[in-house]
Amino acid sequence: MKKITLSMIAIATIATAGGDFVETTYVTNDNSNAEISALKAQMGEMQSKLTELENRKVEAPAVKEPKHKGTLVKSHVPVLKFSGTHYLGFVNKKDSNGDRTNKFETRRNYLQVKAYMKENPKDYMRITLDTHDKDGESGVRLKYAYLYLDNVLPNTGVEFGQAHRPWIDYEEHNAWNYRSISKTLVEAKYGADLTNSADRGINFKTKTPYFSSELGVFNGEGYHNAEDGEGLSGEWRLTGHILGTGKKHAKKSLTYANVSFFGQQNKKSNKHGNEDLNWMGLHAVYNQPEFLASAQYIKVGDGIASKKGKGYSVNGEYRVAPKLNLLGRYDYFDMDDNSGEKKRAIAGVAYEYNKNVEFIANYTKEGGSNLTANDRDNEAIMLTAAVEW
């Protein structure tokens, strides 16, 4: 605007001065006077136009360059959130005969998308694809596909579809932070081997500072077993948060103390030999920035002979430095049919390379009289990169 004003003053000055000079010097030249008059008229129009623009104070809008240039993504929802989790590793394993094998693994790869709704930004649709190694090949299957609606009841949201089952996800985020090297006791093949982490059904999730819960009804077979429709499974988790941290995400830097009662009542299905599978457990965990300690006890009251029994698991972490962590775990499960027990011990060290990558080195030993001859006294040295983005 200052430049426009200065230009206007300059033109006006030249026009006035020029007019005076011409009229004084060339008064007898009619043609020159006509040209000068025309030029002065044009300058007058320009001056009027500049005055009009100055009064309007026209300014060109500032154009902001986008911070990131890339491919346009369109959706019927305002926000799409993409994320991934990867467990990459190397295993040196020795079986009961003393034979050793060495192999690299891409144990699991999860690709996840959440589509958040416009009406309520806490409502979303989630889909998670899961790859897994089997017989030297990688397969892809659906892990989660559910609609989450927040606050359908006071402090309670609901997952509907192929959803979380109540227990395993809680334990993996509050007590056992190393799913990349081992499943939990209730899921592991060399543990109780009772259930898995997802199934088709409905799960009501309640969170308050001192109490949280998950109450669900599911098909019961789990997300990678045949769905025969013969019976449904009622499953639960009830957790008391002694230090009032029930609405917070569990972090290593947070101090919390939780006690949980969990289990499931699973009616007859093909997966369980056309028998009921009813079990329950107690769990406690205490965490502070320097260490974590956790223990649980489970009992299988009804089920086929290969499932009935009781057992326990203890695990802990000692954080020797801000990014360096020692870890350990011991599982024990005793069969009710006198077929023996299953044991498992894990010891390792974890290093947080950055907020997206953690490296883990661990030793695992499996044994017990219930295992087959080929599985008894197995030992493994594992190297793992756990990646999240």
Tell me the per-residue pLDDT of 267-276, one tens digit each, with 9 for 90 and over: 876 666 678 8
Rg of the Cα atoms in the chain: 36
- 201-218 pLDDT, tens digit per residue, is 999 999 999 999 999 999
Whether residue 48 has pLDDT greater than 90: no
- Orientation angle between helical segments 2-25 and 30-56, nearest 10 degrees: 160
Per the model's pLDDT, the better-predicted residue between 230 and 241 turns out to be 241
Distance between CA 353 and CA 376 in Å, rounded? 35
Answer for the pair 111, 132: CB distance below 8 angstroms, yes or no.
no
Distance between CA 170 and CA 52 in Å, rounded? 69
Answer for the pair 312, 344: CB distance below 8 angstroms, yes or no.
no
Per-residue pLDDT at 29: 57
Answer for the pair 146, 159: CB distance below 8 angstroms, yes or no.
yes
Per-residue pLDDT at 65: 62
Distance between CA 234 and CA 386 in Å, rounded? 33
Whether residue 263 has pLDDT greater than 50: yes
- 105-135 pLDDT, tens digit per residue, is 999 999 999 999 999 999 999 999 999 877 7
Name which of 15-19, 133-137, 228-232 the model is least confident about: 15-19
Q: What 8-state DSSP symbol labels residue 224?
A: T
**pLDDT more than 70, % of the chain:** 86
Name which of 53-62, 82-91, 265-274, 326-335 the model is least confident about: 53-62
Distance between CA 154 and CA 201 in Å, rounded? 21
Give the angle subtended at the CA of 136 by the CAs of 134 and 137, to the nearest 5°.
70
Answer for the pair 252, 267: CB distance below 8 angstroms, yes or no.
no
Longest dimension (CA), the chain: 133
Answer for the pair 4, 50: CB distance below 8 angstroms, yes or no.
yes
Residue with tokens 């227990």: 167
Per-residue pLDDT at 63: 57
Whether residue 51 has pLDDT greater than 70: yes
> Residue 116: enclosing H or E segment and its boundaries?
strand 100-116
- 316-369 pLDDT, tens digit per residue, is 999 999 999 999 999 999 998 877 899 999 999 999 999 999 999 999 999 888
Whether residue 387 has pLDDT greater than 70: yes
Backbone angles phi, psi at 298, to 5 degrees: -130, 150
Q: Which amino acid is at 235?
A: E
At residue 279 the predicted structure's pLDDT band, cuts being 50, 70 and 90, is: very high
Buried b (16+ CB within 10 A) or exposed e, 263-290: bbbbeebebbeebbbbbebebbbbbeee
Q: Which amino acid is at 349?
A: V
pTM over 0.75: yes
Per-residue pLDDT at 18: 46
Backbone angles phi, psi at 181, to 5 degrees: -115, -20
- 154-178 pLDDT, tens digit per residue, is 999 999 999 999 999 999 999 999 9
Per-residue pLDDT at 38: 80
Closest CA to 332 of 319, 320, 345: 345
Distance between CA 34 and CA 12 in Å, rounded? 19
Q: Choose from 9-13, 175-179, 226-230 the range with maximum mean pLDDT.
A: 175-179
Whether residue 14 has pLDDT greater than 60: no
Distance between CA 115 and CA 121 in Å, rounded? 10
Mean pLDDT estimate for the chain = 87
Per-residue pLDDT at 370: 78
